[in-house]
Amino acid sequence: MKKELKILPCHIGIIMDGNGRWAQKRKLPRVFGHREGLKAVRKAVKAAKKFKIKYLTLYSFSTENWKRPEEEVNFLFKLMETRLRKEGDSLNRNNVKVEFTGRKEGLPEKLIEIMDYVRDITKNNTGLNLIFAINYGGRQEILDAIEKIVKKKKIKKVDEETFRKFLYLPDVPDVDLIIRTAGEKRISNFLIWQSVYSEFYFTDVLWPDFDEEDFYKALVSYQKRKRKFGGLIK
């Protein structure tokens, strides 16, 4: 029997790691792992809705992922195009609001069209806010924000509140919990500005095997954290 969860994160970010290793363990091409990883995405979204999480950000393609073989990169984009178009209507029916964070520059035009379509049809939904980080890098987001600020010559002083307005998604709250699968323990350029006080949960489970039970375990771990934000617990 699952214990009651009294303290829930508002915003969860997931670094979905281990697709390639999942396939290699089964002596399959890496692309099979990416296909299987989509099932885990559906399970994570379903779990987030079940536990009433308000924001879920999935690290789908980083700015560093361009270093992978061209064949694999092209496959990933084609997979995104196919699944986003099909899943978009389902997400819309389930009252999920879909957003994207990252740079559009360099992405295939077809993928951009589908991203815009899914964002548009779900924009008025009031349920889970599902964010796909595609062609996203935390350092790049900060650099892009600085460039925008520099161009706004009327700005005399920059504080945290002002700076936040120039981030990709300024209205999305900081991430409370970051989950990383496949046993790695690093942030990998994910939500750098937004994760300064995030709690971290690392699991050896490879992303394609990550399910609702694993999601629940991360939430149970979160219950035990004492979040002080630099101050003292009262």
Instruction: Exactly one of 19, 65, 89, 209 is catalytic; name it.
Output: 65
135 counts as catalytic? no
Closest CA to 133 of 102, 172, 177, 169: 102
106 conformational bin, left if phi > 0, alpha if psi -120 to 50, beta if neither: left
Using DSSP, state whether 174 is helix, strand or coil: coil
Q: Where in 32-80 does DSSP place strands (E)?
A: 55-62
Cβ–Cβ < 8 Å for 103, 144: yes
Instruction: Exactly one of 17, 176, 209, 214 is catalytic; name it.
Output: 17
Beta bridge partners of 15: 59, 180
Closest CA to 219 of 70, 8, 46: 8
- Dihedral pair phi/psi, residue 126, rounded to 5°: -120, 5
Rounded-to-integer distance, Cα 119 and Cα 96, Å: 10
92 counts as catalytic? no
- Amino acid at residue number 194: Q
Residue 31's Cβ-count burial label (10 Å; 0-12, 13-18, 19+) is: middle
Q: Which residues are catalytic?
A: 17, 65
